[in-house]
Amino acid sequence: MTSEDGRFVVIFNGEIYNYPQLRAELETDGVRFRTTSDTEALLHLYARHGADMVHRLRGMFAFAIWDQARRGLFLARDPYGIKPLYTANDGWTFRFASQVKALVAGGHISRDPEPAGIVGFHLFGSVPEPFTLYRDIRALPAGHIQWVDTAGPREPKPFSNLADVLAKGSANPGPTAEIHERVRAGVLDSVRAHLLADVEVGIFLSAGVDSGALLGCMRDAGQREIRAITLAFEEFRGTSEDEAPLAACVCEHYGAHHIVRRLSEQEFVEDLPAILEAMDQPSIDGVNAWFVSKAAKEAGLKVVISGLGGDELLGGYPSFLDLPRWHRRFGLLAAVPGIGFLARKLIAAVAPTFSRVTPKALGVLEYSGSWAGTYLLRRGLFLPHELPGVMDAEIACEGLRRLKPLRRLAANLTPDPISENARVCVLESAQYMRNQLLRDADWAGMAHSLEIRVPLVDFTLLRALAPVIPAFTPGAGKAALANAPTVPLPDEIVTRAKTGFNVPTGDWMNAAIGRGSDAVGRAPEAKGLISRRWSRAVLNGMAPANAQEQLHAS
């Protein structure tokens, strides 16, 4: 879209949820809108406020504005990194797109591999920004702006910071008694904002607390007709692992129309090539996101609400317990220089079987000395010292040098968010959620022409909750969320959700990569080991052709 005077041209991917307020403000200031699109608001805001406009936006966005008068390009990406934005610069020409694949398809970009991206994938199971699998393609990091002119792109500049919001919250803590009210008001406000749409908004509904509570809040926000999509697995039908009956109960509770989509292993196998094809960057997950998006498309939905982000925001992951515990237990000992390395060598020498079956145990003393290290230990698919054994040793070494995984994770914790909950919240949101969950939701949704909206991934909500996040005791955040709707979630949902649900996709993945048969008769393998093999299968299916041989030289 071009501004009326022709000076600005915008290209925009995303949704601005506070568009009505922005438009009202701008019109009060005398701006005349030509369309009813939030895209136009970006043009007016940029013309009036320049780069500072980004602070006024609530939503998910990646956009570029060409300024004809200054002959430069302004790029911006939302604070959480919900929408992707990739750039490539060869020194003469700057290119950008929402997908790595689009840039590659355009030609003229080197496909030389980026060791940091490949190493990052092996460490985390997804490619950590700003890297991609290709050296010449980079992500504009979440919450950053970038200016490009005749001298090329300038270094991206941050305009928002998760750690900063949480640090401010920790410094001005709210009373524990306020938790429920803050969560209720904040989540309802976010849901209301996320329902702004020209088309029907549906919801992904599991039997968990997050999506159930969001469904209740959709009701409170005034939406009468709600269609909820639940992904269920054929082989769990009639067992306690089946989420469909509980989800149906939630639907009935809130008077929503329930659509249960049953998935079989056969369909998984049939879709696998299409999944790998749609995956923009390799990911060890995204399978569930693919099928639930497919179900929404089949139901004719274009926009859905998802509970993604609830575990990060409200302390739902086991890591909120494990990280502080591990760090307390081993951190002091691990701070002794060299002890981790020695312990690892010693254990590997005296107990080789132990080190093969539980490879991460070897890393405890090496990594638990810092929060970033403890996180890597908890979440890592492989640990850095294992990489030379699973990929080309030279690429592993070069990739680690370029990625600096510990320093990069630690940088997310600046300024220090002070409380343990807030630290884990930042690490999970800036690493796992940003690089894995949000990327998976994006490519899986886009492949089905579906817009996935995430009210629990919202900076306004984060600001509202930051003062009480330090005070969350285990389960308190989720309990507050379950009570957010006027009609709270049924108790059985809250109780059942605590034990979690299984998905059979891990076994399917294992079978799909040909390990099903020889695993028979053995003790079931740890989930982590399956993920490791799966990650290699994904990379094999996706990696740039000229990188293949280098990747698996070992």
Binding residues: 38, 306-307
Residue 352 tokens, joined: 């080789």
Alpha-carbon distance of 33 to 37, in angstroms, equals 9
Check if the beta carbon of residue 432 is closer than 8 Å to that of residue 379: yes
* Shortest Å distance, C-beta 85 to other proteins: 15
Which residue lies nearer to other proteins by CB, 215 or 551? 551
Residue carrying the six token digits 């002119």: 149
* Shortest Å distance, C-beta 135 to other proteins: 6
Which residue lies nearer to other proteins by CB, 89 or 161? 89
Which residue lies nearer to other proteins by CB, 18 or 146? 146
Q: Which helix (H) or strand (E) holds 305?
A: strand 303-305
Which residue lies nearer to other proteins by CB, 378 or 408? 408
Task: Give the annotated binding-site residues for ATP.
Answer: 306-307
Residue 266 tokens, joined: 């056969």
Which residue lies nearer to other proteins by CB, 156 or 417? 156
* Shortest Å distance, C-beta 527 to other proteins: 33
Which residue lies nearer to other proteins by CB, 149 or 189? 149
Residue 531 tokens, joined: 């993920």
Which residue lies nearer to other proteins by CB, 369 or 399? 399
Strands (E), 360-472: 451-453
Which residue lies nearer to other proteins by CB, 21 or 548? 548
Picking from 216, 220, 217, the residue whose alpha carbon sits closest to that of residue 252 is 216
CA dihedral (261, 263, 267, 273) in degrees, to 10, reads 90
Alpha-carbon distance of 540 to 530, in angstroms, equals 15
Q: What is the CA radius of gyration of the chain?
A: 23
Distances (CA, A) of 360 to 330, 366, 368, 385: 14, 10, 11, 10
Which residue lies nearer to other proteins by CB, 82 or 406? 406
Q: Is the peptide bond before 359 cis (omega within 30 degrees of 0)?
A: no
Q: Quick one: CA dihedral 176, 180, 182, 186, positive or negative?
A: positive
* Shortest Å distance, C-beta 20 to other proteins: 37
* Shortest Å distance, C-beta 156 to other proteins: 8
Q: What is the DSSP string of 188-201?
A: HHHHHHHT--SS-E
* Shortest Å distance, C-beta 539 to other proteins: 20
* Shortest Å distance, C-beta 115 to other proteins: 9
Picking from 272, 212, 252, 217, the residue whose alpha carbon sits closest to that of residue 501 is 212
Which residue lies nearer to other proteins by CB, 398 or 416? 398
Which residue lies nearer to other proteins by CB, 112 or 225? 112
Residues 6 or more apart in contact with residue 416 via CB below 8 angstroms? 163, 167, 423
* Shortest Å distance, C-beta 151 to other proteins: 4
Alpha-carbon distance of 106 to 121, in angstroms, equals 24
* Shortest Å distance, C-beta 397 to other proteins: 12
Alpha-carbon distance of 339 to 337, in angstroms, equals 6
Task: Give the annotated binding-site residues for L-glutamine.
Answer: 38
Sites of contact with other proteins (CB under 8 A): 89-92, 110, 112, 135-136, 138, 149-156, 401-402
* Shortest Å distance, C-beta 91 to other proteins: 3
Q: What is the DSSP string of 439-461?
A: HHHHHHHHTTT-EEE-TTS-HHH
* Shortest Å distance, C-beta 410 to other proteins: 17
Q: Which helix (H) or strand (E) holds 409?
A: helix 405-412
Contacts 24+ apart (CB under 8 A), 383-391: 383/123, 383/359, 384/123, 385/344, 386/359, 387/119, 387/122, 387/123, 388/554, 389/554, 390/122, 390/532, 390/536, 390/554, 391/118, 391/119, 391/122, 391/551, 391/552, 391/553, 391/554
